[in-house]
Amino acid sequence: MYEFIRGPMAWACFSIFILGMIFQAVRFFVLTEKVQSARLAHPPRYKVRKKIELSRESLLSLASKLRVSVAGVNPLMTFVTIVFHVSIIILPVFLMEHNMLMDTLWGISFCPCVLSEINADMLAGIVLSCILFFLFRRIFVNRVRSISTFYDYFIILLTASPFVTGILAIHDLFDYRILIILHVMSVNIIMVSLPFTKFVHSIFFFLNRFFIGSEYSLSTGSRSW
């Protein structure tokens, strides 16, 4: 059973994940429209003066937008969210056990940069602490609880499942084979659900930041909804 879950099932789930992400990326460009921006030519001296004024105005505008943004209104939520997303990328990629598996299967490894057991445990603890923060926020913050459904709690628990099963398996806290099967199954389920659930923000985050103009954009934005 383990070989099937790790082999054919994992590849099938990975294929659905890739095709689903491509579908969502194409859907993004279908649902958005290209913005036409007009640029007027100005004399060089005007451009320099205007650039200085725009820089000052941009800083003031950025500061005012930051105060009313999620980061300004709820800095703790912003900090936890950033730490969580950075951690869930670093931990699976640089975990020693994952690198040994990748080396065996594909000859790929980040061995010089792999996490020590202590650092891996610390990072796993950070991930689970962030997940508990999101869970307790939905349970105890009235405005968040009022709009939360079973689906929201399920997404949180599904996110936690590969980390919980992975920690238990590494430290032999239960039957290893059962835990590894549950671990791989949870990852497979996440891969399949990524393009079709709230997890899809993993691709829309970048598409929105680079193509849609807003206070959170990383560019001027060339498209609009």
Per-residue model confidence as pLDDT tens digits over 67-112? 656 666 778 898 999 999 999 999 998 998 888 888 887 788 777 7
Of 134, 89, 101, 137, the closest CA to residue 2 belongs to 101
Q: DSSP secondary-structure letter at 69?
A: S
Domain that holds residue 154: 149-213
43 three-class SS: coil
* Residue 31 belongs to some domain of the structure: no
> Residue 209 contacts by C-beta under 8 Å, 6 or more apart in sequence?
216, 217, 218, 219
Highest mean pLDDT among 59-63, 107-111, 149-153: 149-153
* Residue 90 belongs to some domain of the structure: no
Q: DSSP secondary-structure letter at 7?
A: I
In this prediction, residue 69 carries a pLDDT of: 61
Last residue of some domain: 25, 51, 72? 72
74 three-class SS: coil
Q: Report residue 180's pLDDT band, with 50, 70 and 90 as the boundaries.
A: very high
* Residue 99 belongs to some domain of the structure: no
* Residue 78 belongs to some domain of the structure: no
**What six digits make up the tokens of 163?**
């980390």
Global confidence as pTM: 0.78
CA-CA distance, 66 to 70, in Å (whole number)? 8
CA-CA distance, 141 to 70, in Å (whole number)? 16
Into how many domains does the chain fold?
2
Q: Report residue 40's pLDDT band, with 50, 70 and 90 as the boundaries.
A: very low
**What six digits make up the tokens of 36?**
């036409």
* Residue 130 belongs to some domain of the structure: no
* Residue 162 belongs to some domain of the structure: yes
* Residue 122 belongs to some domain of the structure: no
* Residue 61 belongs to some domain of the structure: yes
